[in-house]
Structure 1
């Protein structure tokens, strides 16, 4: 009979394999909710130390996933107004976002994701919870072919 811990490990491994089989390009992004209250800059430093960076959201599907992880309230994401760029590598914001929220963002400098999946501008010195991102490289975790 399999122990509870063994079953949990088996289920986790099975989920990773299934997800990776759907990701032929290799890496998948994972989002992590952090319930600490920090300014945007403090949140960025924390994410860079513990994960990769504040969440970069390149698509509507990723936005939905980040929203699920974030839960209720407003959470920092990696978007800041240096002509609206992502924290990670200064990547520009994709067109789908600009069409969706350009009029909402205004001139404030940092963005939060709310529980409805909307992005809003907020003073970067405000304290919020936040979402970090990490990557899981499926190519390094695949079994023999």
Structure 2
């Protein structure tokens, strides 16, 4: 399975702007810019999208693990907080803090802790945050 998204950028890093589009259409020319990333202008930014992806991936992974344990969650609510920190001449994402609030009848604390930790380690986005990155770069003239 391959999922795709496209970014289009116009102008300089600080004063330019761009948009993001996904094949599913959930994002369709969604604006992003310096101001949406580092200030509070409406639009999105890469860190927000990574946070959404990590929260969604982790929560779904946990739902599958709870199902395998023969149970079902009434509710799993996860927030992911991505930290962007200075790194030399640029920045780095140095943390994704997951906060989970769960309602799962008949699940004891020890089993809950075990399943939540397994979900964090095994969801594909958690693995991505330590993944090999490949680049196919073409400069068009």
Same fold, TM exceeding 0.5?
no
Q: Which has the higher contact order (CA 8 A, sep 6+)?
A: 1
TM range, smaller chain: under 0.3
| Larger gyration radius, structure 1 or structure 2 | 2
TM score, norm. by length of structure 2? 0.23
Between Structure 1 and Structure 2, the one with more helix by share is: 1
TM score, norm. by length of structure 1? 0.23
